[in-house]
Amino acid sequence: MDKKKIIKEKLLISFLIALEKAYGNWGYLAGRSFVAGIFVGLGATIGFALVIVIIGYILNALGVIPVIGDFFKQLNEFINSATPNIPVLK
C-alpha cells in the first residue's frame, strides 16, 4: 500500500508541474484567452451570417420574401408619415 501512495504522490507532483508550465505565465494565458475569444466571436458571427443567408435563400425560393418586403415597405411609409419634419439621411 505504501508503493501505491508513493506512485500517487509522484503522479500528483508531475501533474502540478505540468499545470505550472501551462498556466504559470499569466500574461501568456491572458493573451491566448483574448485571442481565442476573438476567434470564437468571429466564428459565431460568420456562422450566424451564413445561417441567415441560407434561411433567406430558402425563403426566397419559397416566395415568402416579397411578403416580408411589403411589410417593411409599409412600416417605412408609416414611419415617414408619422415623422414628416425629421430630415432623411441619404
Which three cell numbers mark 61?
425560393
- The tens digit of pLDDT for each residue in 19-65 reads 787 777 777 878 888 999 999 999 999 999 999 999 988 887 887 77
Q: How far apart are CA 12 and CA 16, in angstroms?
A: 6
pTM, 2 dp: 0.50
- The tens digit of pLDDT for each residue in 72-86 reads 788 888 888 877 676
User: How do the domains of the chain map onto residue ranges?
Assistant: 2-82
Which three cell numbers mark 38?
476573438
What integer pLDDT is reported at residue 44 of this predicted model? 97
